[in-house]
């Protein structure tokens, strides 16, 4: 049982956000592996392959063309195979409605995209560490709600 890194996947249609995201992970203390998709359709296509390696944490932008983050979330939640993936919503929106709606639909984490890079690093580090605690201590993922 060797799991000494966290596998992270992001789906985001904004190029700058994708770039910041992967750079932030490069500078984290914890071992991570990051894969990035440009939209929800590409993400779901990759996840749905029967031999796909599943991420420990999946970050979803909410507003994406063709398939939104919420649609991806709902689709993921109907598939038992994906039940162990922690889902983080990663959005510019901070409307209470979006937050509650995604949590109710099964998201574990809601992140409002920060404006500065250092804050982003801090937030992503917190997310990975918290997920690690749930993962290594057998805590109940159904109760895993985190808003940053």
Q: How far is the CB of 25 from other proteins (least distance, A)?
A: 15
What is the C-alpha separation between 10 and 25, in angstroms, rounded?
12
Nearest to other proteins of 53, 145 (CB atom): 145
What is the C-alpha separation between 28 and 118, in angstroms, rounded?
11
C-beta of residue 110 within 8 angstroms of C-beta of residue 88: yes
Nearest to other proteins of 38, 112 (CB atom): 112
- Would you call 113 helix, strand, or coil by DSSP? coil
Alpha helices in the chain (DSSP H): 15-26, 40-48, 69-77, 96-104, 117-136
Per CB under 8 A, residues contacting other proteins are 29-30, 100, 103-106, 110, 129, 132-133, 136-137, 139-140, 142-143, 145-148
Q: How far is the CB of 113 from other proteins (least distance, A)?
A: 15
Q: How far is the CB of 143 from other proteins (least distance, A)?
A: 5
Q: How far is the CB of 139 from other proteins (least distance, A)?
A: 6
């Amino acid at each position: 049982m060797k799991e000494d890194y966290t596998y992270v996947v992001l789906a985001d249609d904004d190029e700058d956000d994708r770039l910041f995201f992967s750079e932030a992970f490069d500078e984290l203390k914890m071992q991570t592996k990051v894969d990035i998709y440009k939209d929800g359709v590409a993400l779901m296509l990759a996840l749905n392959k029967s031999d796909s390696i599943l991420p420990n944490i999946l970050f979803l932008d909410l507003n994406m063309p063709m398939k939104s983050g919420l649609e991806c979330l709902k689709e993921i939640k109907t598939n038992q195979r994906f039940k162990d993936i922690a889902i983080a919503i990663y959005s510019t929106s901070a409307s209470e409605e979006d937050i509650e709606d995604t949590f109710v639909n099964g998201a574990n984490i809601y992140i409002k995209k920060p404006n500065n890079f250092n804050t982003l690093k801090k937030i992503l580090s917190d997310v990975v560490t918290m997920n690690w605690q749930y993962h290594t201590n057998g805590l109940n993922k159904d109760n895993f709600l985190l808003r940053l």
